[in-house]
């Protein structure tokens, strides 16, 4: 049972946990979302600053809008509304603050879609792939998660919350390696992000595509600066 009383079946929960676990093959470990340059510039240098940085992304940046995209894609699939799904697919692909974050979302979206189709095939996923080809659009990560979650019977709230938790945990993992921090500090950072993840999920579930926007200018700047950073461990 979810926090809003919606039941979630064991198979649906199993798939959600598998899909959003660190071991699922989307290559999330190769992306830092600009944190690599933020560390070099001295904007992130310890557990507290890393937590504030990620909380800002969740509440005011791409985490905020990605949560809306997950929910909108989920709703379009459940309603069998092809036009609505096409709209969120298009908006999610172009709504990126930098070239690197666009690659980050598209690459993980394609990897996620390929992995899910390979292990959990579904005819509607095949139909969506044909639609993407017709639209000449790429499957972004949040939209693909929303589509797959809806087809698997995962309720909307767990899908959004699970996506945002995975997003935050991946950025914490990047920070642990970059600052560097110990594993204990990494766990404390994840624990401290529980409230921001929940708040971001609430905002996403209450929002829609007409209410998206970001206010994380420094995150966009660090992402752009990362494109020409001399020494890089991450792709973004």
**Cα separation, 140 vs 112, whole angstroms:** 9
- Establish if 128 belongs to a structural domain: yes
Residue 176 pLDDT: 97
Tokens of 138: 């790429």
5, pLDDT greater than 90: no
- Establish if 97 belongs to a structural domain: yes
Closest CA to 106 of 92, 122, 120, 116: 92
- Establish if 234 belongs to a structural domain: no
Neighbours of 213 (CB within 10 A): 10
By CB atoms closer than 10 A (0-12, 13-18, 19+), residue 174 is buried
- Establish if 83 belongs to a structural domain: yes
pLDDT digits (tens, 9 = 90+) for 79-134: 999 999 999 999 999 999 899 999 999 999 999 999 999 999 999 999 999 999 99
Structural domain of 46: 41-226
Closest CA to 233 of 183, 178, 192, 194: 178
Residue 3 pLDDT: 55
- Establish if 107 belongs to a structural domain: yes
Residue 211 pLDDT: 84
Angle in degrees, 0-180, between the axes of helices 183-192 and 47-60, rounded to the nearest 10: 40
Cis peptide before 180 (omega within 30 of 0): yes
CATH label of the domain that carries residue 102? 1.10.4190.10
Whether this model's pTM surpasses 0.85 = yes
- Establish if 12 belongs to a structural domain: no
- Cα distances from 195 to residues 58, 112, 120, 161, 191, in angstroms, run 10, 27, 32, 11, 8
Across 213-220, average pLDDT = 94
Count up the domains in the chain and report the number: 1
pLDDT digits (tens, 9 = 90+) for 30-88: 999 999 999 999 999 999 999 999 999 999 999 999 999 999 999 999 999 999 999 99
2, pLDDT greater than 60: no
- Establish if 24 belongs to a structural domain: no
Across 188-205, average pLDDT = 97
- Establish if 138 belongs to a structural domain: yes
């Amino acid at each position: 049972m979810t926090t809003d009383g919606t039941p979630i079946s064991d198979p649906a929960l199993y798939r959600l946990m598998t899909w959003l676990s660190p071991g699922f093959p989307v290559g999330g470990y190769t992306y830092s979302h600009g944190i690599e340059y933020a560390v070099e510039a001295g904007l992130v240098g310890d557990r507290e600053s890393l937590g504030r940085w990620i909380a800002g992304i969740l509440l005011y940046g791409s985490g905020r809008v990605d949560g809306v995209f997950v929910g909108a894609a989920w709703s379009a699939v459940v309603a069998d509304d092809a036009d609505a799904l096409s709209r969120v697919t298009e908006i999610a692909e172009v709504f990126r603050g930098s070239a690197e974050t666009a690659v980050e979302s598209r690459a993980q979206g394609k990897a996620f879609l390929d992995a899910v189709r390979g292990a959990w095939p579904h005819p509607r996923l095949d139909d969506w792939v044909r639609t993407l080809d017709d639209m000449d659009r790429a499957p972004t990560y949040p939209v693909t998660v929303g589509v797959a979650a809806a087809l698997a019977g995962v309720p909307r709230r767990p899908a959004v919350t699970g996506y945002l938790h995975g997003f935050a945990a991946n950025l914490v993992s990047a920070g642990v390696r970059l600052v560097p921090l110990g594993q204990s500090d990494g766990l404390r950072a994840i624990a401290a992000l529980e409230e921001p993840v929940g708040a971001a999920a609430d905002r996403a579930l209450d929002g829609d595509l007409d209410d998206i926007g970001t206010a994380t200018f420094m995150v966009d700047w660090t992402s752009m600066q990362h494109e020409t950073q001399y020494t890089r461990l991450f792709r973004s």
